Amino acid sequence: MFSLSAVSKHYTTTVALDRLDLEIERARTTALIGPSGAGKSSVLRMLIGLEWPDVGEVRFDDEPLRRECLLEQRRRIGYVIQEGGLFPHLSAADNIGLLARTLDWSRKAIGERTRQLAELCHLPIDALARYPSELSGGQRQRVGLIRALMLDPPVLLLDEPLGALDPIVRSELQAQMRELFASLKKTVVLVTHDVAEAAYLADTLVLLRAGRLVQQGAARELLDSPVDPFVREFMTAQRSLADVA
Amino acid sequence: MRAWRVLSALFLVVTCQAQTTGKSDPVVGSKNFTESVILGEIATGLARQAGLDVGHRRQLGGTRILWRALENGQIDVYPEYTGTLAQELLQMPEADELALRKALADRGLAMTAPLGFNNTYALGMREQRAQQLGIHSISDLRAHPDLRFGLSNEFMQRADGWPGLSKAYGLPQSANGLDHDLAYRGLAEAALDVTDLYQTDAEIPYYQLAVLDDDLGYFPSYQAVYLYRQDLRDRAPEWVAALDGMASRIDATTMQRLNARVKLDHETEAAVAADWLGIDAPETSGRVSRIWKRTCEHLVLVGISLGLALLVALPLGVFAARRRRLGQIILTITGLLQTLPSLAVFVFMIPLLGIGAKPAIAALFLYSLLPIVRNTHAGLTGIPRELRETAAAIGLPSSTRLWRIELPLALRTILAGIKTAAVINVGTATLGALIGAGGYGQPILAGIRLDDVGLILEGAIPAAVLALLVQGLFEIIERLLTPRGLRLAARQ
């Protein structure tokens, strides 16, 4: 679905991506993991044209990502950030329907689709009338997700989607998202800090370090046959409760 | 969107009240001091005697403005002094009357014969004290080195003032600078012996002062004349004849008396002039209708200039926020506009827009740009990055992003800028009176000139009330326009 070839990106003092080659499979869930500054978010932002490579090429659906047709390409991608990235001056329903309305969807069609997605994402219907500041963290995240799914895009990009949630809500949402991804059969790319979450949600993990790809594969693959010691170190660094209690 | 509707409604109300003044009637101008206003009223009275309808643009903000307005035909007549004409306006200090007339004719202008008084600088002292010491002329001062001189600050500094005078006459005294009005009081209380004055000051008879004879002829001649446009001879020959007929009719004592009736006895200039001409005074309007008229004038100035500023500044602010580098240039230029002194802007505007409301509106428009442009820019650039990026990333077209996301999120900051511009505008519009735009500045100028606090307050209080109302209006607009979601967010 996406392919990056020899992509490099420099910021004034640091190198974000260093001649990165990466293929992201269609209709699968891919998690980008790696330490801070590895370039996970840069990759995700490049997929949707918020950042552009200094060198190299990003392709989406076998076409290079170009500024001229960005709007059209973006509408085939759903995008969710931490806390949902909701606009505070619009109600949940207005946030959700914003793009559909600019595309001249009828009010009825928008309402129907919204209700349908709210059910799918376990958002209570009465929450739709509320403003973001009146919603809980989990609800905001669900609204963000519904907004991303509104046009039924083939691709979903999620940047630390569950980062700001308390553990119980987070775990509940993780389970629901896994279910959702499995039923929707979309290409999902997500960035997370949490290796367990990545392994739980994604078919494929992409481990990055210092702007380069270290290893790509199923979680089991990375655990059982790491290509270098860093992979093992990273995959097992997270302390589980069993270790400490 | 609602903001536009409210604003355009306001704009309409204001423009409806704009009075249009007939262009064909001749217009008299006068400068921002009492004597000039009286002479302007006399010229107006003469026109009425000749059966003409003329307007009077009273107390315009300075020699330059009147001269420009006369050259451009916004006014047809105004009282001037030959000294000012020769030195300041035509810049031919050595010219005699014939040369001045010729220079005027080259510009399509003319002047009447001198009216009879010479309002030049002079030195004065209390009559009693002068008699005591036997002082009649400035030369006589040389014999009394102990005399205390208190001179106005301007006279102290002008090269042709005290420095030149003391040198020309070889005066041994040293002098202190002080405020002109305080100098009169100092003389009255015998804290001073000698001060500078204008020969026709109303205070001369009031404080019983003697004007010392300029026996060496040091001070240049400041003969009062009327300047007028040559084409007036065709348009109103009787009037020009009447103005010419004023030659030598007003001597210094008469002018002193007329000044005193206005400045000290608080009669109106129009009444004093009419009385002296022996005609009926024009009807004066009551205080309420006067304030109402000025309110309309003021609202026209503020409403139109602010409305235009909104139309220009909001897009400029949006543009500045989107193109960062060009934006800096725009902000710098609008900032520079703010530093221009209003009087300079007025003078600059006369050839383009004449005098009256138009140049004042243009100046107010320029001054209103900065707060609106700057706040629009600040409001838009201050939107959190993740919200701006999300708006782009979810595929909203640029115009939807602007209208549905960015402007609503920046609304409070933008409205704060508009509010600032409006309140400053209400205050600055009082300066419009300097260029004949009317408004609340009119009574304020007259009050300052006549030292009449009541008159000053007649302009200052409504101006303050209007500023508060405008502020209140924009607060209501802000309340109506702020989306509930933002109000909720602000509360948390």
B386 close contact with A: CB closer than 8 A: yes
> CA neighbours within 13 Å on the CB side: how many for B305?
30
pLDDT on residue B21? 40
Residues 6+ away with beta carbon under 8 Å from B1:
none
Higher pLDDT, residue B159 or B342: B342
Residues in B closer than 8 angstroms to A49, CB to CB, are 393
- The pTM assigned to this predicted structure is 0.78
What's the pLDDT band for B18 if we cut at 50, 70, 90?
A: very low
The Cα B104–Cα B58 span in angstroms is 23
The nearest CA of chain B is from the CA of A73 a distance in Å of: 8
Q: Do A133 and B485 touch (CB under 8 A)?
A: yes
pLDDT single digits (tens) B212-221: 999 988 888 8
Model confidence at A85: pLDDT above 60: yes
Model confidence at B312: pLDDT above 70: yes
Residues in B closer than 8 angstroms to A99, CB to CB, are 394-396
Q: Do A85 and B489 touch (CB under 8 A)?
A: no
What's the mean pLDDT in B402-414? 93
Model confidence at A26: pLDDT above 80: yes
Lowest mean pLDDT among A139-148, B154-163, B333-342: B154-163
Q: Do A133 and B492 touch (CB under 8 A)?
A: yes
The nearest CA of chain B is from the CA of A116 a distance in Å of: 20
Exposure string of B198-220, with b = 16+ CB inside 10 Å and e = fewer, is: bbbbbbbeebebbbbebeeeebb
Q: Which residue in B387, B394, B484 is closest to A99 by CB distance?
A: B394
In DSSP terms, which residues pair with A29 in a beta bridge? A188
Average pLDDT of chain B, as a whole number: 88
Q: Which of A47, A96, A133, A140 to mutate to test the interface with B (most CBs of B within 10 A)?
A: A133
Q: Do A77 and B395 touch (CB under 8 A)?
A: yes
Model confidence at B173: pLDDT above 70: yes
What's the pLDDT band for B302 if we cut at 50, 70, 90?
A: very high
pLDDT on residue B4? 52
What's the mean pLDDT in A53-73? 86
Closest to B76 in 3D by CA, of B52, B60, B55 = B55
pLDDT on residue B19? 39
Closest residue in chain A to residue B485, using alpha carbons only? A89
Higher pLDDT, residue B159 or A96: A96
pLDDT on residue B247? 92
The nearest CA of chain A is from the CA of B404 a distance in Å of: 9
Residues 6+ away with beta carbon under 8 Å from B491:
none
Task: Please give the full DSSP string across A172-209, using - where no structure is assigned.
Answer: HHHHHHHHHHHHHT-EEEEE-S-HHHHHHH-SEEEEEE
What's the pLDDT band for B23 if we cut at 50, 70, 90?
A: very low
pLDDT single digits (tens) B49-62: 988 989 999 888 77
B487 close contact with A: CB closer than 8 A: no
Q: Do B409 and A81 touch (CB under 8 A)?
A: no
Q: Do B395 and A75 touch (CB under 8 A)?
A: yes
B385 close contact with A: CB closer than 8 A: no
- Quick check: B403 and B414 in contact, CB under 8 A? no
Q: Do B485 and A131 touch (CB under 8 A)?
A: yes
pLDDT on residue B1? 47
pLDDT single digits (tens) B260-279: 999 888 889 999 999 999 88
Q: Which residue in B395, B405, B484 is closest to A87 by CB distance?
A: B405
pLDDT on residue B484? 80
pLDDT single digits (tens) B432-491: 888 888 899 989 988 887 878 888 999 999 999 999 999 999 999 988 888 787 877 665
| Torsion angles phi and psi, residue A130, rounded to 5 | -85, 160
Q: Do B488 and A91 touch (CB under 8 A)?
A: no
Model confidence at B13: pLDDT above 70: no
- Opening angle at CA B20, ends B16 and B26, nearest 5: 170
- Quick check: A146 and A118 in contact, CB under 8 A? yes
pLDDT on residue B180? 75
Higher pLDDT, residue B67 or B351: B67
Interface ipTM above 0.85: yes
pLDDT single digits (tens) A160-219: 888 778 888 888 889 998 988 888 889 999 999 888 899 999 999 999 988 889 999 998
Lowest mean pLDDT among A2-16, B11-25, B41-55, B346-360: B11-25
A68 close contact with B: CB closer than 8 A: no
DSSP β-ladder status, B224-229 and B109-111: antiparallel
B394 close contact with A: CB closer than 8 A: yes
Element (H, E) at A23: strand A15-24
pLDDT on residue A67? 83
- Quick check: A114 and A97 in contact, CB under 8 A? yes
The nearest CA of chain B is from the CA of A72 a distance in Å of: 7
Q: Is B176 left (phi over 0), alpha (psi -120 to 50) or beta?
A: beta
pLDDT single digits (tens) B387-403: 999 999 988 988 999 99
How many inter-chain contacts (A to B, CB under 8 Å) are there? 67
Q: Do A88 and B395 touch (CB under 8 A)?
A: no
Q: Do B409 and A89 touch (CB under 8 A)?
A: yes
Q: Do A88 and B485 touch (CB under 8 A)?
A: yes
Model confidence at B352: pLDDT above 60: yes
pLDDT single digits (tens) B364-387: 999 999 999 999 999 999 999 989
What's the mean pLDDT in B73-83? 93
Residues in B closer than 8 angstroms to A77, CB to CB, are 393, 395
A129 close contact with B: CB closer than 8 A: no
Residues in A closer than 8 angstroms to B393, CB to CB, are 48-50, 74, 77, 79
A167 close contact with B: CB closer than 8 A: no
pLDDT single digits (tens) B449-466: 787 888 899 999 999 999
The nearest CA of chain B is from the CA of A152 a distance in Å of: 12
pLDDT single digits (tens) B107-138: 999 999 999 999 888 999 999 999 999 999 99
What's the mean pLDDT in A80-99? 91
B481 close contact with A: CB closer than 8 A: no
Model confidence at B429: pLDDT above 70: yes
pLDDT on residue B3? 52
